[in-house]
Structure 1
Amino acid sequence: MRTEFDAELEDRLLRYAAIDTQADAGSTTQPSTAIQLDLSRLLVTELEAMGAEDVRITDYGVVLATVPGTVEGPVIGYLAHVDTAPQFNASGVKPVVHRNWAGSPIRFADAPDLVLSPETYPYLAEKQGDDIITASGTTLLGADDKAGVAIIMTMARHLLAHPDLPRPKLRLAFTPDEEIGRGVDPRLPADLGADFAYTLDGARLGEIEYESFSADGAVVKITGVSVHPGWAKGKMVNALHLAARLVAVLPQATMTPEVTEGREGFLHLYEMKGTAAETEMKFILRDFERDGLAAQGDLLRQACATLQAAEPRARISCEITPQYRNMRYWLEKDMTPVDLAREACRSVGLEPVSVPIRGGTDGSRLTEMGVPTPNIFTGMQEIHGPLEWISVQDMAAATCVCIALAGLGGRRG
């Protein structure tokens, strides 16, 4: 289905995606990279030009703005994040539009051997006739979450241009550093000032998500005994070898991302660096239930303790840090925001579907901090890699849902 929003959404995503906003988990600044503010400042300029109110960038890097209400009702927030994932190259993104895609495999100008095939990716096969946007093959696209940014900006522009449309006060927020788990500063809930909110950070058409992983991060540090290798017998303790032994005893066949799906959690080693003298390993722990997450932490601690007992000359530490919790724990107590989003979907001819997110959003933290924030689809697919793609028409459908949702909020006033 084509809408009046297609051209605007395409233009916005092409412009936003070309701006490098990659986050850096190793940085201690806020935001983690100054380049994220390049897009944030552009959004401020565009919001002011379209007539939004209270537009500003906070000192923790979040763009905030208001679409004034025309009727009484709950204050509704809409959020998306400006940063892109650090897992894959995000510099020099060259978006490509495959207009009125005919259904044949999509190839990439800068990576001729790369193929996006509808046979391999069934959801793509459903999008024949849509306008498909990809990158050029050597970078991710950044639809995660610049598609969400484009959708919210398009919605805001439309509502501001039509003051006759009923809606309550809307608050917009564009956050940095979501991809590295730092999108929600403790000051954001109060600054946002919303009764409830929605992140535009989901995938397939019609998805309204209110369950996410619960998440912890873990850092294991192994300090061995460094000795010249020529005279090391009986003296050296190789930290790299101990790290390899730790990986070997963890349940790789049943508890890693590459062998889990659905509601199964995982224990993921995503970074390891060091020398024979000292090695650091970084893990993420994910499960939909608190007990499952705690069991993963216990498993990792016990594996470290066993390794320490076997080699007392080494020093092995395991530090586990909470990251976010399943938003369902709070949303299931009051499903009003979820029910409104489902009603908005049906009002524009979509049947809503709710599936658990095998990840988290800024909404996970916001919900835990007192602002109920389910997640709405954008259409983004195969994120964090060179095959990332999105349908402009899926984005347009999400825009229609957001506008309808604002109208429903006004009628609830």
Structure 2
Amino acid sequence: MTDTVLDRLLRYVVIDTQSDPTSSAQPSTEKQKTLGRLLVDELLAIGLGDAHLDEHGNVYATLPANVEKPVPVICFCSHMDTAPDFTGTNVKPQIVRNYAGGDIRLTGDPNQVIRLANNPELNDQIGHDIVTTDGTTLLGADDKAGIAEIMTAVQALVANPGIPHGTVKVLFTTDEEIGRGADKVDLKKLGADFGYTLDGSTVGEIEDETFSADGVDIAISGVAIHPGTAKGKMENAIKIAAEIVARLPKEQAPETTEGRQGFIHPTDIAGSMEGAKLSFIIRDFDDKGLAEKEALLEQITRDVMTSFPGSSYTFTVKEQYRNMKVVLDQHPQVVDYLIEAVKRVGLDPVRHSIRGGTDGSRLSFMGLPCPNIYTGGHAYHSPLEWVSRQDMEKSVETIVELVKVWEERTTA
């Protein structure tokens, strides 16, 4: 197979793989397996004879080592699902050849414009070929650009047996966008020592730190009574929930924070006079900050409830993921070798903290230290998503160089 990374991206993005947070199954949508089966067929055609799709939709494959010395086994991972935030059905990828600068107006919806003012990274894309949608769907470069890059890099390694390398594992997961990407990964079967997710953005950025993350559910039981006779008796659960939200500190919200600042973010509210439920995500870069924000939220809830003596509440915290830097700092070579690979492809490496999480967050704490590599994609989860062909090619080069660094730095 001689497909380019662009060929692959264009083939993958037209397959609808949106995950569904309302489903308890994994994969949450069977259509994710459609892409998985295609990837297995392509991996087999490249020559990775053990490529297969498991019952959860995850794809596993192995590129055997071509050297005798015991090089650590490394894994490259991307996720197949696209975000539920915007439709991924009937994607029509467009290519702006030899981008000359300025805004990009999308062909399917003239109101959708990729504006230079909002995408300053476009200043570095003059002369590049920019892939977008027509403006009516998301593109799915998150994370099909990562998949295309891994597939193309593996293809290059097979086609060039003169490049010495250890064993390389390939892992494509489902349901990353709804926080379940690592739930059904079998690390024993995978058999890797270290991993790298291809799920980043701007080329040159190495993401070795994520938020630590928890979810909080607050269930409120109010006092329901006929409104005609409610004076002094009714305690409306909807109003209790609204008052909790109204008291949230404005300086600790996603829309008012940046950099290493964490936040308290309500994601859902539902209910009736009798009962209501609030859902939150809590984010911070260290566990202490996470605990402080959860304590603050519960204190707000207690304070509000004092005005409603007949009502009650439950406050449930669920751990989601933790800052992968805690694990990566114990294995500095994983990031050091990546920095070297980035330099070798002519980029300036920039260590970057993710205001979010990746499969690598969970995988790191499961025993697979796993920083994140750039894919070249931008404006994820929206119809304004875009990616440069040349940046994707740079990511492919980075994977190949990283494999070489691991082999070179391993002494027999």
Among 272, 286, 289, the alignment partner of 1:289 is: 286
Aligned partner of 2:107 in structure 1 is 109
1:105-131: per-residue Cα shift (whole Å, max 9, x none)?
111122211211213321112211111
CA deviation after TM superposition for structure 1 residue 200, in Å: 0.2
1:9 equivalent in structure 2: 5
What residue number does 2:42 align with? 46
Deviations 1:253-285 (A, max 9, x none): x11111110010111112222333332221111
2:376 to 373, 379, 382: 379
- Most deviating of 63-72 and 109-118: 109-118
Stretch of structure 1 that moved more, 190-199 or 302-311: 302-311
Mapped to 2, the partners of 1:308 and 1:341 lie a distance apart of 51
Report which stretch shifted further, 320-329 or 178-187: 178-187
Q: 2:66 aligns with which of 54, 67, 70?
A: 70
Q: Which amino acid aligns with 1:278?
A: G
* Equivalent residue number for residue 22 of structure 2: 26
Q: Structure 1: how far apart are the matches of 2:131 and 2:226?
A: 55
Matches within 5 A, 1:4-403: 8-71=4-67, 72-185=70-183, 187-252=185-250, 254-403=251-400
Query: Structure 2: how far apart are the matches of 1:110 and 1:275?
Result: 41
Equivalent residues, number: 408
Q: Is the 8 A contact 2:3 2:152 kept in 1?
A: no
How large is the Cα RMSD of the aligned pairs? 1.7
CA distance in 2, matches of 1:50, 1:336: 30
Once structures 1 and 2 are overlaid, which stretch shifts more, 182-191 or 200-209?
A: 182-191
Partner-residue secondary structure (3-state), 1:262: coil
What secondary structure sits across from 1:211 in the alignment? strand
TM-score, scaled relative to structure 1: 0.95
- Supply the AA of the counterpart residue of 1:290: D
Q: Secondary structure at the match of 2:376?
A: coil
Shift of 1:355: 1.1
Instruction: State the 1:144 CA deviation.
Output: 0.8
Q: Deviations for 1:13-42, whole angstroms, at most 9, x for unmatched residues? A: 112111111111121101111111111111
Residue 158 of structure 1 deviates from its aligned partner by 1.4
How far apart are 1:395 and its partner, in Å?
0.8
Q: Is the 8 A contact 1:304 1:317 kept in 2?
A: no
209-218 or 11-20: which moved more?
A: 11-20
Percent identity between the two aligned chains: 48
Compute the displacement of 1:186 (Å).
5.8
Question: What letter is aligned with 1:323?
Answer: Q
Q: SS state of the match for residue 354, structure 1?
A: strand
Letter in 1 for 2:320: Q
Write the distance in 1 (CA, Å) between the matches of 2:158 and 2:75: 16
Q: Tell me, which stretches of 5 or more residues in structure 1 are unaligned?
A: none
Distance 2:26 2:153 in 1: 28
Is the partner of 1:112 in helix, strand or coil?
coil
CA contact (8 A) 1:30 1:61 kept: yes
Report the CA distance between 1:179 and its aligned residue: 1.0
Measured at CA, do residues 91 and 272 of structure 1 come closer, stay the same or move farther in structure 2, by a change above 3 Å? farther
Cα distance between partner residues in 2 of 1:196 and 1:164: 23
Equivalent residue letter for 1:122 = P
- Which one is further off, 113-122 or 212-221? 113-122
Q: 1:186 to 1:24 in 2, by over 3 A?
A: closer
Query: Given residue 262 of structure 2, which amino acid in structure 1 is its aligned partner?
Result: G
Amino acid aligned to 2:297: L
The two structures have a TM-score, normalised by structure 2, of: 0.95
Moved more, 393-402 or 103-112: 103-112
Contact 1:60 1:185 in 2 (8 A): no
* Offset of residue 307 of structure 1: 2.1
Structure 1 position 94, deviation (Å): 1.6
Please tell me the residue identity of whatever aligns with 2:76. Y
Q: 1:53 to 1:412 in 2, by over 3 A?
A: farther
Q: Give the superposition deviation at 1:60.
A: 2.6
Query: Deviations 1:1-24 (Å, cap 9, x if unpaired)?
Result: xxxx99711121112111111111
**Secondary structure of 1:123 counterpart:** helix
Q: CA-to-partner distance for each residue in 1:59-90, whole Å, 9 max, x for gaps? A: 33210001111114110100000011112222
